[in-house]
Structure 1
Amino acid sequence: MTSLDQYGWQAYRSSHPQPIEMNGLILGRIVSIKGFKYYAQTENGELETELSGKLLYIAENTELPKVGDWVSLMAYDTMGYIIDVLPRKNALARRNPGAPTQKQILATNIDAALIVQGLDREFNIMRLERYLVQLAACGIASIVVLNKADLVPDPPAYVDAVEKLQRPCVVQVCSTYTGMGLDALRQNLLQPGCTYVMIGSSGVGKSSLLNALMNTATQTINATSEANHKGRHTTTTRDLFLLPQESLLIDTPGMREFGLTGDEDVTSGDLFPVIQRFAAQCRFNDCQHVDELGCAVIEALHNGTLSSEVYDSYVKLKKEQRRFEIDAEEKKRLNKQFGKITREAKNYRKKYKY
């Protein structure tokens, strides 16, 4: 029998002090989703479950169970049925690649994210900045893992490049081939009972890192393509693993797209702290930091205090977030308009009985 405290229950409860009424139902945590099957860890082990009618026909996609969710279950024979999803501490989301105005939730109830970048051909500072911005918007702490350090002559140079972003994140250099940095990752950064999610592009070594942390061949490893030097997708589902030191790690498929989303509850200062430090000295409170008179951000850019890479990233990512917000609002407006037309047509048919 496995205690749910090993799967992060105490960490979850500490962030949700209000009482949770189970009403005779079973508590579980979603550890994997395969098609229409949801696998939940319970006090009595892993249970294969399906959605109840309430969730199947009523819930929005973002409200459906995701890996990391705590859920209430009803057991029936060897199966279980998910009755409800407990309130989330947070959720890692990105813009849905197939529906640009919608969010896609990747994992929930996360204490920190491991952003894995390979130092061979997959190190991309702009992509890293994109991850860091979205994680800040989701309220999730960041740990940058620079993998494949054995393949480059000067790993500290990559650490310097990350630190120039001036973001509150931990940076850990490692190599799954030589074992460099893995003990520090296990002992100093991954805390027992806490949940971490691992994200990054294909080919950065996420599967190798998971295998090293699990001390076993949990995930299959494919070689990087020799034709285009791009990683191949080896992980195809999101799964939650209990590591030997009792940390929890959610593995995710490689993502070449990580579109940003808008969030009304997050300020620009939360997403771009280095810009905010200069913005506090701007002449106008509503300064957009483009060409306004008395803009301290532009002044810092001109005198070299603020790097052009950081400023260019800020402008690009702010535009992308704004586009998502506008597109989402337009979709909401059109849906509202369509709903009004539908109601009017229904009332007209009812009035004239046809």
Structure 2
Amino acid sequence: MPILQLYGWNEHFMRHFETNTSQDLEAARVLSIQGFKHLLITETGNLDAQLAGALINSCEPEAYPKAGDWVLVKRYDEEGIIIGTLPRINELSRKAPGTQSTRQVLAANIDAAFIVQGLDQNYNAMRLQRYLQQVVQCNISPIVILNKADLVPDAERYRQAVQELGYNCPVVLTSALDEAQQKEWSSQYLVPRHTYILLGSSGVGKSTLLNNLLGYRLQEEGATSSANNKGKHTTTARHLVLLPNGSMIIDSPGMREFGVTEESEGKGIHHPLIDELAQQCRFGDCTHQHEPGCAVIAAVHHGTLPEPVYRSYLKLLREQYHFKTSEADRRRNEKQFSKIARQVGKHRKDSKY
């Protein structure tokens, strides 16, 4: 099988590639990014490349190539120049860390996301719902991995707690140190020529899981502090690797912040349980917060909708609203700045100085 097909090349990318008229460009997939250097896989093997200046100046940073992207590259001796990016099937994003409401794209063209939480005091239902919500609204299928299940007396109750969140996704109880368990779940969920990403905080065991799936040590496994159970960052950049069974996985650094964005213009936060109940609300534009005849509020009162799920939903809704308003202000300011810059430039040209 041709190398590019092994790495997920399909009709979607072929169709867009064929619209390119230049015979000097070839298709490649981004495996990792270190500073300005992009490691690509091409039909003839690995290639180091950098972004063309025209590409840097013509698009927003969120549109720059990310791990998992398919790009157009032109070769110069032993290196390449990335000219453009083929349209993405999807992209995983989050609110960029910090106070500013900017969107950060983490990776692209992903079939499913493994959301990893450790059961050694790392499990956090609200954090998990945040991951699930953002992954789902990025049009990526979630799979929850509850690692270190051997460290708790009743691991099954954690699986039930995840299922009660209502996202109808697979939930795997495992220990990264148990080879038989690794083989069991990976054979079920890792499909050849499909792309996956590992998500989770530092110390949940992502690197251990990946090393065992690979059969060799790609990443050093960091220790977890006994004082606060927070892990060290052992992965410093996202990189895509080919697993022995022919599937691909993107490892990612541990993330302490995973803020929600707005991926579907104007559609807001969608939760499966709340969306189902919303059809019974008295008002079509019900916000599920204070309106009479709200089926969601009634379900919380009757105990059929878990209150933590509802509270988390409201919090994510507020975060998304804040992100939308801050993002709109930022774009207005940038537009105003661009207008002023053009006026200054015209004035300088007219005044010849």
TM-score by length of 1: 0.94
Distance 2:58 2:303 in 1: 54
In the superposition, relative to structure 1, how do residues 140 and 292 fare at CA in structure 2: closer, same or farther (>3 Å)? Answer: same
Q: Which one is further off, 173-182 or 63-72?
A: 173-182
Residues 220-276 of structure 1, C-alpha deviation per residue, up to 9 Å, x if partnerless?
A: 01110123221110000111010000000000000010011113447347x211111
Distance 2:41 2:67 in 1: 11
Distance 1:108 1:334 in 2: 28
| Matched residue, 2:19 | 21
| Matched residue, 1:225 | 225
Alpha-carbon deviation of 1:344? 3.8
Matches within 5 A, 1:182-331: 182-265=182-265, 267-268=267-268, 271-331=270-330
Structure 1 counterpart SS, 2:38: strand
Q: Is the 8 A contact 2:135 2:142 kept in 1?
A: yes
Distance 1:348 1:60 in 2: 27
Alpha-carbon deviation of 1:184? 2.4
- AA at the equivalent of 2:333: L
In the superposition, relative to structure 1, how do residues 96 and 78 fare at CA in structure 2: closer, same or farther (>3 Å)? Answer: same
Q: Is the 8 A contact 2:268 2:320 kept in 1?
A: no
Alpha-carbon deviation of 1:333? 1.5
Distance 2:340 2:76 in 1: 44
| Matched residue, 2:179 | 179
Residues 44-70 of structure 1, C-alpha deviation per residue, up to 9 Å, x if partnerless?
A: 111111111221333321111100000
Distance 2:9 2:345 in 1: 48
Structure 1 counterpart SS, 2:131: helix
- AA at the equivalent of 1:337: Q
Residues 54-92 of structure 1, C-alpha deviation per residue, up to 9 Å, x if partnerless?
A: 213333211111000001111111111111111111110
Structure 2 counterpart SS, 1:9: coil
Let me know the Cα RMSD of the aligned residues. Answer: 1.9
| Matched residue, 1:169 | 169
Residues 183-206 of structure 1, C-alpha deviation per residue, up to 9 Å, x if partnerless?
A: 222211010000001010000000
Unaligned runs of 5+ in 2: none
Distance 2:146 2:317 in 1: 26
Equivalenced residue count is 351
| Matched residue, 1:52 | 52
Q: Is the 8 A contact 1:66 1:107 kept in 2?
A: yes
Q: Which one is further off, 122-131 or 177-186?
A: 177-186
Alpha-carbon deviation of 1:350? 5.3
Q: Is the 8 A contact 1:301 1:308 kept in 2?
A: yes
Residues 138-169 of structure 1, C-alpha deviation per residue, up to 9 Å, x if partnerless?
A: 11110001111111111111100100101121
Matches within 5 A, 1:23-172: 23-24=22-23, 25-98=25-98, 100-172=100-172
Q: Is the 8 A contact 1:268 1:276 kept in 2?
A: no
Unaligned runs of 5+ in 1: none
In the superposition, relative to structure 1, how do residues 252 and 170 fare at CA in structure 2: closer, same or farther (>3 Å)? Answer: same
Q: Is the 8 A contact 2:112 2:195 kept in 1?
A: yes
- Give structure 1 regions of 4+ aligned residues with deviation exceeding 6 angstroms: none
In the superposition, relative to structure 1, how do residues 349 and 71 fare at CA in structure 2: closer, same or farther (>3 Å)? Answer: closer
Q: Is the 8 A contact 1:116 1:198 kept in 2?
A: yes
Structure 2 counterpart SS, 1:57: helix
Structure 1 counterpart SS, 2:246: coil
Distance 2:26 2:15 in 1: 19
Structure 1 counterpart SS, 2:231: coil
Alpha-carbon deviation of 1:212? 0.7
Residues 11-32 of structure 1, C-alpha deviation per residue, up to 9 Å, x if partnerless?
A: xx25775563342212110001
- AA at the equivalent of 1:191: V
Q: Is the 8 A contact 2:167 2:272 kept in 1?
A: yes
- AA at the equivalent of 2:246: E
